[in-house]
Amino acid sequence: MAADEKDRGDRTPAANAALAVTRDGSGQTRPGIGAGRSRRRAAPTTVLSDAPRTRGGRISTTTGPSATLAERIGMPTLKTPVALLSLPGERPFDSTRAKELGHLLLGDVLGEGGMGLVQAARDVDLGRNVALKSLRQDLREDEGYVRALVFEARLTGQLEHPNIVPVHDIGALADGTPYYTMKLVGDLSLRDVIQQLRDAQPLARRTYTLPRLLQYFRGICMAVEYAHARGVIHRDLKPDNVLIGEYGEVQIMDWGVARVLPHDGRPSYFAGRVEEPGVIIGTPHYMSPEQARGDTRLVDARSDVFALGVILYQLLTYTLPYDAATTSEQLDALLAVPVPRPSLRAPERDVPAELERICMRAMAFKRDDRYASARALWDDIEAFLEGNKEAERLAELARKQAKVSAAAAARYYRISDELAALEEEVRRDELTLGHLDGRPARKAAWQRQLRADHQRLIEAHAFAEAVSGYQQVLAYQPQHGGAREALAALYRSCAHRARQRGDDAGFVLYADLERAMLVRGDEPGTLSVRTYPEGARVRLFELEGDGDAEPHAPLDLARAPVAPVPLQPGTYVVSATLPTYRESRRAIVIKPGEPEHLLIVLSPWDASVPLVARADELAAMKDAFNACVADARLGSLMVCGAPGLGKSRLLSEFSDWLDEQPRLVVYGAVRSDPAHAHVPLHVANEFIRHRAGVARGDAPATILAKVRDANPSAEERALPPGPYTHLVFEAIADLLERLGQRAPIVLAIRGAEHLDRLSRDLLYFLAVRLIDTPLLCLLFGRSDRLQLRPDQTIVLRPLDRERMDRQINLLLKARVRLEVLDLLTTKSHGNTFLLSELTRILVSNGWLVLSGREWTFADAVAPERLEDLELRTLLGQDLEEASAGARELLEAASVCGGSFWIGQLEDALCRPLRDEVLELTDRELITPRPASRLLGVAEYTFRHDTLRRMLYDLLEPGRREALHAGLASWLERHAEDDLTSLALRATHLRLGGRAAEAQPLHHRLAEVAAGWEPADGPAWFDWPDQLQSALFDDIA
C-alpha cells in the first residue's frame, strides 16, 4: 500500500521522518521541503513498513539559545556585521518583522513538508541569511520525528561537499524543539528547469543547453560519489531535491531518508534508528527495482546510480520514462515494463546515441549491469563531452571550410554556365558558317572555339577545387550533410553531361559518386523501360567490379514497355534485344526512392553497313534538325521514295546520330500501315501510348494511370458533347510544348501516305500552334499524296553508277571485278535494298566467291543464269527449296498483308506450323515482328514484300477470297476490340467478297470519327480519295 493510501496515524515516526516527494492522482510530482523553497505542504515519499509506532520523551528545553556574540563578550560595537553588496535576485530579509532567537532572527516560513518546517533566518553574528529547519508544530512531541530531524542534521552536517547543502548550526527552540540551519539557496530546482524546457520557454532553451545540463549533472554525480564514500546512500535522488543557484551552484537537498551502510560492526540505519527490513523508501519514479521490491539489504550505491539514470533520462527527454498516474502503476511498470529508450520516448530531441547508451546502462534492471559507482557514470559522460569538444573544434573547421568550398562551387557553376553559352555559340557557328564566308567571320568563330577550349580547362580546375574543398569538410566531419549534398550536386552535374555526351563510363563514375554521397537508406527506386521498336526483350545486369567482361546473372524484365520495377539502389546495365536488331546496352544508376525512365532505340543489323550512298540526304536531315534547334522553331521534312530506296536506313542512321549528340532529345517514332488510314488519330494515339509505356493488354485504369504519370503537369478536363477535336488538339500541343521546353523534339512518322484524315489535320494544327517550339517532324512515305506540305522534301531516286559501285565495295569489303559490278548495278536498278539482297543471296548461294583479294563469279555459274538474274527469280529458287508445308504457309500469309499472326495461319490451314515457321525464319524469308499487336500471339512479317506480292498474285481468286474471309473470322474471335482491329477485319471482309458484313464495321469507324469532326464534313471513307479537311478550310 502506498503512503498516500494510508492514514498518517498509521505511519511510524521513522517513516514520517522520510517525507519528501511522491505523485498525486494527476501523475504530477510535487516538491517537498528544501532549504529556501517556498512550497505548500507536500505529499510524503513512499514509505511502507509494518514496524510498530513508538513514542518517547521530548527533548530537554531547560536552556534557551545562546545570546549573540556581542552580548557574550561584552562588546556591543560588534553587533553590526560586515556589510556586503546584495546579489541579484537574492531574497531580502525583513528584520523588522523577525523574532529573536539568540543569535538568530526568525523570518517568514519558506515551506512546509510532511515532517519539517523551513523558515528564513538571519545569523546576527555572521551577518548572513540562512534557512532554519525544525519540526511542524503537531510533530514536536514525537520522539521519532525529533530523532529523525537530528539524524538528518548530523548526517548532512558531516557530508561536507560543494554540491551538498552545508549545515551551519544545530540547536533547540525556546520550547525545546530541535532545529538546524543550513545555506539558504534560491527557489530554482532542477525540476523547475526541466519543466521550463518541456514548456519550450525560449529563454530556458537558450540558457539550459545540453552541455550546461550535463555540468549540473556532474555536480550531482560528484556529490553522490562523495556521500557513497562516506557510506551514505541518498535513496531519494530526484530533480526536486537538486537546487540550482544563480551562479551555477548545484546543491543536493533532503538527506532525511538516506541509508547509512553497515560498517565497523554497526548495522545499517536511517532516521536515527536501526533500519527495518521490508521498508519501501523513495519516490516511485526514481526508485531502483530493489527499492521498489522493499529489498533493503540490496540497496547500495547502484541504487542511487539508477536514480541518477532517471535524472539523466529527464535531462535528455524532458520527461519521465513511464506515464504512470499512481504509485502502484509506477511500481508495476518499473518491475515489469522495459525502460523505453530516450530516442523513442522523445524522437524530436535528437538524443546523442552515446548518451542514450550511458543512460540505459545506468537504469539497467539488474544491479550488476549498472555502473558500479556515480563516478564511473560520470567518467563516461565526461568522455562524451571531451569527444564533443573535439567534435566542436572540427565542426568549426568544417564550417569555415564549407564556406570556402561553397564559393568554389559557385565559381564552378558560373564557369560551367559560361562554357555552356560558349559551346552553344560554337555549335551555331558550325551550323551557319560556310567555307566561303569572309576571314573576319571565320576568325571570330575560331576565337570562340579557342575560348571554349580554354574555358573547359578553367572549368575542370574549378571543379577540382570545389570537390577537394568539400572532401576536406568531410575529413573534419564525415557526416556533414551540407558537404555531402553539395558534392552530390557537383557529381550529378558531371553525370548529366556525361549522359548527354553518350559517355556511359563517365556517367557510371559520377552517378556512383553522387549515390555514395547521399545517405538515404535502402529504400528501393524504380525502373521503367521503353524501346523502339516496341517488344524488345529487356534484361537487367547488376554492374559488379569482378573483372568479368560479360555480365552474368541477368534479371529478365519481360518485353518492353516495362512497367516500373522496384530495384535496390545500385548501378546496372540494361540490355534490349530483338530479332534482326543489334543488342543495345545502357548503363543506369538507381537512387533510393527515385524513378528512372529509360528509352532504348535499337538499330537493325543491316544498319551496320555504312550509308555512303545516301550521305547527302542524311546530311540534309541533320541540317534540318540543327536549324530547328538553333532557331527554336518547328520544322518539317519529308523523305519520299519507292520501296527499297533507303527510307528506313536513313531514319536508323539519323536516330544513331541523335544518340551521339551532347544534348537531350525527345524522340518519338510511329508507323502507319494501310489499315490505319481510317483509324482516327492513330499517330497521336501511338505516340502518347509509347511515351507513357502503355503495353498491349493494359486495363483502362492502368492506361489512364500511366498517361497521368507521363504527363504530371497536364490538366484533366471532361470532354464536352459534340466534336471535341480542338480541345484534344490543344492538349496534345500543350504536351509537346512542355516537352519542347526541356529538350528538342523529333517526331518520325513512317508510312505517312497511310495517315488518317484527323492525323493529317493534327499535323497541320501543330505546324501553326507550335511554330516557336524546337520540334522536327520527319515524314517517310512513297509520296506526298496527302498534301502534307512539309518545309522540305527529299525525293530518293535510284542510285547512279558511281554510288552503286561505292555501296557494293562497302558491302563486300574488298575489290570487286568489273563484270560483277556491271551485273549488280544493272539488276538492282539503283535500288539499295535490291542491291544488298542480291549481293547477300549471291554470296550465300556461292555464286560470288572471293578469289585472292577480289570478288568474282564462281566458275560453276552458267552465264545464261546470270543474264536471267532477278530478285523474284532468286526468291523463287529459295521458295522451291523450301518444304511444301512452308510454301503453303507463305501462300496463306501473303493474304494477311505485310504482317501476320501464326495463329491466323494455323486456323486457316488447320494444323500447327511451328516447324515451318522455324524453317522460314532460318531461310530469312520471314522475320519476327518486334512487338505483336495481339497479346501472347507471335507476329511475323515478310522480309521481302516482293515475295509476298508474287505469292498473292499466284493465288487463285477463289482461294484468296476464302483466306480473307477466314482471317476476318479469326480476328473477330481473337483480336482486341480496338479501331485498328476493326479496320483490318473490314478490309479482309471486303476482299473476301463479304462487303455487306464489312459495312457495320465501316459504320462504327465512321461513328467514332463523327465524334471528332463536324456532321457536315466529308464522309469518313471518302478519304484519301477526297483530301478535303472537315476541320480546316485551307487544307485542300
| Strand pairing category for 167-172 and 178-183 | antiparallel
φ, ψ of residue 539 in degrees (nearest 5): -125, 155
Tell me how crowded residue 666 is: count the other CB atoms within 10 A of its CB: 17
Active site residue 236: yes
Strand order in the sheet with 259-260: 232-233, 259-260, 269-270, 273-274
Give buried/exposed letters for 955-991 (b at 16+ CB in 10 A, else e): beeeebbbbbbbbbbbbbebbeeebbbbbbbbbbbbb
Amino acid at 415: I
Q: Residues 673, 898: contact at Cβ < 8 Å?
A: yes
Q: The dihedral of CA 872, 876, 878, 883: what is its sign?
A: positive
Amino acid at 105: L
Task: Find out whether the peptide bond into 774 is cis, omega within 30 degrees of 0.
Answer: no
CB proximity list for 730: less than 8 A, separation 6 or greater: 769
Residue linked to cell 572555339: 449
Amino acid at 915: D
CA 95 to centroid of chain Cα atoms: 71
Amino acid at 136: R
Q: The dihedral of CA 379, 193, 33, 319: what is its sign?
A: negative
Residues pairing with 795 in the sheet: 640
| Cα distances (angstroms) measured from residue 697 to each of 77, 701, 978, 992 | 111, 12, 11, 29
Backbone torsion region of residue 673, taken as left when φ is above 0, otherwise alpha when ψ lies between -120 and 50, otherwise beta: beta
DSSP 595-621: EEEEEEE--BGGGGS--GGGHHHHHHH
Q: Which three cell numbers stand for residue 641?
A: 521514295
Tell me how crowded residue 1036 is: count the other CB atoms within 10 A of its CB: 7
Q: How far apart are the C-alpha atoms of 201 and 600, rounded to whole Å?
A: 59
List % helix, strand, coil for the chain (3-state, nearest 5).
50, 15, 35
Residue linked to cell 547500495: 300
Q: Which three cell numbers stand for residue 1017?
A: 464534313
Q: From the candidates 125, 142, 169, 236, which is the catalytic residue?
A: 236
Q: How far apart are the C-alpha atoms of 752 and 748, rounded to whole Å?
A: 10
Q: Which residues are catalytic?
A: 236
